[in-house]
Amino acid sequence: RLRAVVKGVGSALPKRCVTNKELEKTVDTNDAWIVQRTGIMQRYIAGEGETTSTLGIAAARAALDNAGLAPDDIDLIVCATSTPDYTFPSTATMIQAGLGITRGVAFDLQAVCAGFVFAMSTAEKFLISGSHKRALVIGAETFSRILDWEDRTTCVLFGDGAGALVLEAQEEEGERPSGVLATCLRSDGRHRAKLYVDGGPSTTRTVGYLRMEGKEVFRFAVGQVTDVMADTFASANITAADLDWFVPHQANRRIIDASAQKFGIPPEKVVTTVQDHGNTSAASIPLALSVACEDGRIKPGDLVMIEAIGGGFTWGAAVIRW
Ligand code: ACO
């Protein structure tokens, strides 16, 4: 039996870091409000020449280095993004070209903030079928480019960045096999109006701005995320107490705390980067995984849960043994 095993992780952030204090100069907001409601203290904002694909390429290179692999070793690229460089071609094919890869397949996947969980689950299915050997799973975003910078209820919440994971198909070994152990994905399109972008090629012919009913998203997020986490624990045949690390989508400190508390996951097992990155949508989980691997928290053999919810709504969770 094949498993999709993590071989490497990497990330990339834009050069420019913007603190809450800096935002106070251009938006009617204040550091205390942002920190108290969200936990966010700063975020990185893409500048001239920095795009979703350039960040994705940098993150992919870092993940390949971490795995000790070359671009040519990759035969599958799945890039989760809602902020592609262009309507088409896909950002994944731009990343493929940027890495100099000319074989295999590359495509984008759009599930907004849940994009990375969807992309990882999709890549896992390719790998365990035996059709592909090594995948780059990337979450890359430049949400700053779809923010209405005059809307203080949304523009303070998001940031830009990218993260990537290298997964490899390997024969399962031993009683505690490494790799992706379970994934659960859900969506429900009835909630479109709570979180959406008010533009697009087929409607307004514009890119549009992000619009959100924050309270509604908050309420739905905590309820549904904990539901899909419970199903993922059952599917992996583990309980929350077995986890070494909980790496949730980094949207908001209060959503993260509420989800962890519901399962009795202690704060020291929760990886939180929202204070440094803001909400980077599909990039937030691989960015957080990258931080926690680099500082030595996540180690081989550790049991890790990731979970996310995004526009649509779309949501999901996965359990991985590192
Ligand atoms: N600075 C200062 N004041 C603000 C700001 C701001 N940036 N934004 C809103 N306010 C004001 C509002 O105008 C309102 O003032 P009023 O009472 O005079 O009308 C007051 O603050 C309270 O606003 P609420 O919207 O009620 O604030 P709430 O406590 O609900 O917090 C927040 C808003 C942080 C968005 C919260 O609803 C939330 O966390 N929602 C979850 C949404 C989320 O995280 N989305 C991320 C994207 S989706 C995803 O990733 C899944």
- ipTM for the complex? 0.93
> What pLDDT is stored for residue 39 in this prediction?
97
Same domain (yes/no): 248, 142: no
Mean pLDDT of the chain, nearest integer: 97
What are the pLDDT digits (tens) for 62-95?
Answer: 999 999 999 999 999 999 999 999 999 999 999 9
Same domain (yes/no): 286, 141: no
Instruction: Give yes or no for a contact between 82 and 72, defined as CB atoms under 8 angstroms apart.
Output: no
Same domain (yes/no): 189, 268: yes
Same domain (yes/no): 215, 108: no
Over residues 156-171, the mean pLDDT reads: 98
Same domain (yes/no): 114, 37: yes
Over residues 228-254, the mean pLDDT reads: 97
Task: Report the distance separating Cα 81 and Cα 135, nearest Å.
Answer: 16
Residue 191 known to be catalytic: no
Q: Which of 150, 171, 192 finishes a domain?
A: 171
Same domain (yes/no): 56, 185: no
> What pLDDT is stored for residue 1 in this prediction?
94
Residue with the nearest Cα to atom 46 of ligand 1? 251
User: Does 251 sit in the ligand 1 pocket, CB within 6 Å?
Assistant: yes
DSSP 175: S
Same domain (yes/no): 24, 148: yes
Over residues 224-244, the mean pLDDT reads: 96
Task: Report the distance separating Cα 73 and Cα 46, nearest Å.
Answer: 29
User: Does 33 sit in the ligand 1 pocket, CB within 6 Å?
Assistant: yes
Same domain (yes/no): 165, 204: no
Same domain (yes/no): 238, 184: yes
Q: Tell me the pTM.
A: 0.97
> What pLDDT is stored for residue 196 in this prediction?
98
Over residues 212-217, the mean pLDDT reads: 94
Same domain (yes/no): 9, 141: yes
> What pLDDT is stored for residue 223 in this prediction?
87
Over residues 301-320, the mean pLDDT reads: 97
Q: Which of 171, 199, 226 finishes a domain?
A: 171
What's at 52, amino acid-wise?
T
Distance in Å, CA 153 to ligand 1 centroid: 5
167-179 as b/e, with b when 16 or more CB fall inside 10 Å? bbbbeeeeeeebb
Instruction: Give yes or no for a contact between 232 and 308, defined as CB atoms under 8 angstroms apart.
Output: no
Domain count, the chain: 2
In ligand 1, the atom with minimum distance to the C-alpha of 153 is: 8
Same domain (yes/no): 184, 153: no
Q: Is the pLDDT of residue 221 over 90?
A: no
Over residues 98-126, the mean pLDDT reads: 98
Q: Is the pLDDT of residue 261 over 90?
A: yes
pLDDT band at 54 (very low <50, low <70, confident <90, very high): very high
Domain, as residue range, for 290:
179-321
pLDDT band at 222 (very low <50, low <70, confident <90, very high): confident
Q: What percent of the chain has pLDDT over 90?
A: 97
Q: Is the pLDDT of residue 289 over 90?
A: yes
Going by their DSSP bridges, the two strands 303-310 and 314-321 should be labelled as: antiparallel
Over residues 206-234, the mean pLDDT reads: 94
Residue 249 known to be catalytic: yes
Q: Which of 171, 200, 227 finishes a domain?
A: 171
Q: Is the pLDDT of residue 173 over 90?
A: no
Q: Is the pLDDT of residue 37 over 90?
A: yes
CATH assignment of the domain containing 27 = 3.40.47.10
Task: Report the distance separating Cα 215 and Cα 18, nearest Å.
Answer: 25
